Amino acid sequence: MNAQSTLTRVVERAGQRLVEAGATFLHLKAVDEEWIHGVRSAEPQQIDSAGIVIEWLGPLRRVAVESEIETIAAVADGMRRIDFQRSLLERLADITSMPAGLTSSEAIQAITDRARKAMAVSRISLEIRTAEAIHRAESGAPKSEAERLVTIPTLTAHSTMTIPALLDEDLIDLIQLVAAHLATAIENALAHEQSLHQARIEEEYEIASRVQQAVLTRRPVPSIEGLDLDATSRPARIVGGDFYEFLPAGPDATLVVVGDVSGKGLPAAILTSLTLSTISAKVEFLPTPTPELIMARAAEDLYQPFTDVGMFTTAVVARIEPRRMVTANAGHGLVIHRPWGRPPRLVTPTDAPIGVLQLTSGDTTEVVLDPGDLVLVASDGITDQRSPVGDLFGLERLKGLIDDGDDKEASAWVDRILAAVDAHADGREQDDDQTLLAIRATAEGILRFELPPDLEALRALPGHLAPAIPEATTRSRVELAVHELCVNAITHGECRSPIAIMVWGDAGRTVVEVAYDGITFDPSAPVKVPDEPTVHGYGLGIIHHLSDEVVYVRRRLNQTRLFFRDRSSPE
């Protein structure tokens, strides 16, 4: 049974009551909203049945709906309409169980109040006018006091039903009768419509998700000598508020953008696209796209759109070179630097999240990268993942995973961390979007040589080191300290295979790694130069005096790194 025949039957029954009540005709206006199947195709028509006239009219915007929340998504708007229709339906159900004994004006008042409450709108009007008044209104004649006509907001915001004045009790009966039948008809239509809507929304989400994945993966992870990069993002819902992108920055560097828009789902996803495209445009069009300038301009542009919808986003803009990383960081908490052989530490934000303040600090944080250094940029979906009993994965657990001196490939770090997060969740649904970037500095392009494990062969050391260390004072410090380490390895370390040495650095800084296979020996522990002259024990003291930092990692080999700051120039 379609809505139209239902309505016809309702009107027929109502007409029966009206005939009994001595009325001449019923004027019913219904509006063919698209969402009422069966009514959709109905043409304006007149049915004469026991003196009843049914008239289908176009939209009569009697009830206007003030939008409750401005949303930016068309789909979200569609969902709101369904909510609205559901509230109308509830109101109709209310009407049908209205207490007896109300006067028509009381009933109208009650309907108006309930409708207003249910729909959270202010403009709903019910009027009572005589049938005669309709003719006069249509012919342009002035309304009189006697005009009594009922206009009931029935189907949607855009429909009304107009019924001529009746005796109070008949009118209430009629309203109840019509409402009860309409409620059933609408409920059926709505249930069908809602399932269609749901399917459509899911389909749109699915498309949005595919679009987002396509956007996120449109630029491959760049390949840069001395860097090993990997990135992944897993939205909690079908589409997410996390984003990342690698942007070009010349042959020996890359720009990376990572962030997390507040909230989840489609609204957040739309803002991720806006944020990424704004930042991409800055990178493309700024004459010198430094992280702080990109951040400043993007934060300026994005302030208003984010403020308008009461949202914000964190964002890290980092320029990554094999030996250093420069970051402008708008409120993104999870940037972690794990220097080789040392504990991880957070790279703190330089600015508030985008959308909170229009101006940025212009500051950056520079992190020096050495081979084996690892930088993680994660979204809080990683640390905020809960276990089935609700305990957080947490920052300490994340730091603990990378604090073991291992130097594996970036993709292996990502896999290891995600596996640990999944194990923690233990089947619990993902709480939030999870994004993780691993940036690992490698030894590619670094000067490396080997020396056989005998004392005479160490005399080749100065010749190897000289080209890598232009500054003479630093060079002699490095030569002696590295020489002492090698002598130790040969005379005390049972080193029987070649000693591998790597040297790198830049202006004002030199680093040397000495790696050999031998008994475990940690030269990094602080030593005291003996007060009294002794025959042994000067080697380590010399190493510590000449270098600024000693870091030791024992895995398969003894690996010691000596760090030298240029001391010839003033501090």
Partner 1 sequence: MHLLERPELNQLHLNGRFDAFAAPAVSEALTRVAAPGATVVVDLSAVEFIDSTGLATLVQALKLQQASKGDLILRSPTDAVRVILELTRLDRAFAIEP
Residues near partner 1 (CB under 8 A) are: 455-456, 458-459, 476, 479-480, 483-484, 487, 490-491, 529, 531-536, 538-539, 541-542, 545-546
151: Cβ contacts below 8 Å, ≥ 6 apart: 62, 125, 126, 127, 160, 161, 162
Q: 327-331: long-range contacts (C-beta < 8 A, 24 or more apart)?
A: 327/291, 327/364, 327/365, 327/366, 327/367, 328/291, 328/292, 328/294, 328/295, 328/296, 328/360, 328/363, 328/364, 329/365, 330/259, 330/295, 330/299, 330/354, 330/360, 331/356
CB of 548 to partner 1, least distance (A): 14
- Nearer residue to partner 1 within complex by CB, 441 or 490: 490
| 313/317 Cα distance (integer angstroms) | 13
- Nearer residue to partner 1 within complex by CB, 58 or 537: 537
- Nearer residue to partner 1 within complex by CB, 87 or 476: 476
Nearest alpha carbon to residue 564 among 464, 462, 482: 482
- Nearer residue to partner 1 within complex by CB, 168 or 450: 450
Q: Are 162 and 29 in contact (CB under 8 A)?
A: yes
CB of 405 to partner 1, least distance (A): 28
- Nearer residue to partner 1 within complex by CB, 327 or 510: 510
| 371/373 Cα distance (integer angstroms) | 6
- Nearer residue to partner 1 within complex by CB, 12 or 450: 450
CB of 465 to partner 1, least distance (A): 13
CB of 551 to partner 1, least distance (A): 21
CB of 486 to partner 1, least distance (A): 9
- Nearer residue to partner 1 within complex by CB, 15 or 493: 493
Q: Are 487 and 474 in contact (CB under 8 A)?
A: no
Tokens of 135: 């003719």
CB of 516 to partner 1, least distance (A): 15
CB of 533 to partner 1, least distance (A): 4
CB of 562 to partner 1, least distance (A): 15
- Nearer residue to partner 1 within complex by CB, 170 or 484: 484
Strand blocks (E) in 165-219: none
Nearest alpha carbon to residue 298 among 359, 250, 248: 359
Sheet harboring 549-554: ordered strands across?
447-451, 499-506, 509-516, 558-565, 549-554
| 115/121 Cα distance (integer angstroms) | 8
Secondary element (H or E) of residue 512: strand 509-516
CB of 475 to partner 1, least distance (A): 12
- Nearer residue to partner 1 within complex by CB, 192 or 496: 496
Longest C-alpha distance within the chain, in Å?
128
